[in-house]
Amino acid sequence: MKRIVYLILFCVLAVSPLQAQLGSAISQYNSKKFDKAKQKIDECLDSEKLKAKSKMWYYRGLIYAGVAQNPTTIYGALKEANPDAMYLAYDAFNKAMELEPKKRGYYKDSKKAMETVLYPLAVNEGVSLYQKKQKEGSLKAFELAQKLNPKAIVPFIYGGDVARELKMNDKYEASLQAISNFDASAFGVVVKKADLDKLTDADAKKARLMQEKAKYVAALVFLYRDTKQYEKGVTAVDKALKDFPNDDKLRALQVELYVKTNKLDQAIKNLEGEIQKNPKAAENYVNLGIIYEKSGNAAKAEETYKRCLKVDPENFNANYNLAVLPFNQAANIIKEINKLTLPEYNKRGKKMEAEAVANFKKSLPFFEKLEQKKPSDTNILRPLGQIYNFLSKNAKENKKEYAAKYKEIEKKISGE
């Protein structure tokens, strides 16, 4: 019986130095003596028993995070001597969690430490290194932050920007893909708080955040276009337009990518099919009209916008596009007139001016209708003023009336 007791005592004595070794590392960490804590925790790796304990790995993570944080100037040299401390901390926390398959013990502690200690550390390190023009290191830190908190949008935005500057298109693409999957509410971090506070209406705030998201969604499509990944671009732009059906940049990109992939006819067919399924969905007509317009078929575009007005006479986009189509045609004619020599003008200049007048008159009722809806919108007032000014000089009738209306528009624009 006595021999058994002695054996048990012997085992306890054999284990205690290992526990003391780990305990010393923890004590030094709690005292913020990270240099000594690091030395002790590194020595723990010599023990297979300690390497099998999640507790050791958890504290190794904390200690190396402490080294990376460098909370006092005393340990500046220690941080410089261990530039990978933050990543070793990440590996240590992961190892602690790996040793707890049932998510007990130090699993939760390690997970929490990665979120509350290591994540902000990685973001701050990314910003600091970028400011020091160490872009590769900055990107690496932001990528770690992305792993640590994939629900936070900031490291994806910052990391994406750095990857773009480094021309690492694969990493830039990965960041943009992640960003495009965030809800609009997440983009509040990149919009000035003062700007959002000015918007008292909830719908207006959401629209502003959606506008910010649209920039990153479009950036992904632009990347696919610029790197000639046209099939990926088609998939991305089609998805984007479901969220942003009125985005002109995306719609123009869609047409361009459809042309690149020989899918323009299919796109028209698909939209016509959508119109047949739901003939009262006005935006389908607008989108189809834009595709016709961007593909160079102005006549079909005009016809489609007018089909839209039969469904929704007050549809802003259809009215605006019907105003812009003949306006642009008139503007192009005027450009050509200005290039004419005097003999050329005498030969055909008047005829071209008459064509410009006809197009401006065609555009006029739509712009006047839009002005009634948005009397202060300069995107409407400026072209409307140009129409009145041109007609006041070149129309065969009502010149004085057009001149008076031109003056009214100019007063509105100047704020008088």
Assess whether pLDDT exceeds 90 at residue 8. Answer: no
- Average pLDDT, rounded, for the chain: 90
Asked if residue 291 has pLDDT above 90, the reply is no
- Res 1 pLDDT > 60: no
Q: What angle do CA 295, 323, 277 make, to 5 degrees?
A: 60
pLDDT digits (tens, 9 = 90+) for 81-108: 899 999 999 999 999 999 999 999 899 9
Q: Please report the pLDDT score of residue 149 as a whole number.
A: 96
pLDDT, tens digit (0-9, with 9 covering 90-100), for 23-74? 999 999 999 999 999 999 999 999 999 999 999 999 999 999 999 987 555 5
Please say if the pLDDT value at position 11 is more than 60.
no
- One DSSP character per residue, 117-167 reads IIHHHHHHHHHHHHHTT-HHHHHHHHHHHHHH-TT-SHHHHHHHHHHHHTT
- At 15 the pLDDT is 46
From CA 237, how far away is CA 239, in angstroms rounded? Answer: 5
Burial 311-323 (b: 16+ CB within 10 A, else e): ebeebebbbbbbb
Q: Which residue has the higher pLDDT, 200 or 22?
A: 22
* Percent of the residues in the chain that have a pLDDT greater than 70, as a whole number: 94
Instruction: Give how far the C-alpha of residue 400 lies from the chain's centroid of Cα atoms, to the nearest Å.
Output: 50
Domain borders along the chain are 324-416
Q: What is the pLDDT of residue 399?
A: 92
Rounded Cα distance between 85 and 78, Å, is 10
pLDDT band at 167 (very low <50, low <70, confident <90, very high): very high
Confidence of residue 124 (pLDDT cuts 50, 70, 90): very high
Choice among 67-81, 103-117, 275-289, 312-326 with the minimum mean pLDDT: 67-81
Least confident of 236-245, 328-337, 351-360, 385-394: 236-245
pLDDT digits (tens, 9 = 90+) for 367-401: 999 999 999 899 999 999 999 999 999 999 999 99
> For residue 190, what pLDDT band results from cuts at 50, 70 and 90?
confident
Q: Does the structure show a pLDDT above 50 at 2?
A: no
Would the pLDDT of 328 be above 60?
yes
Q: Please state, for a pLDDT cut of 90, what percent of the chain lies above it.
A: 72
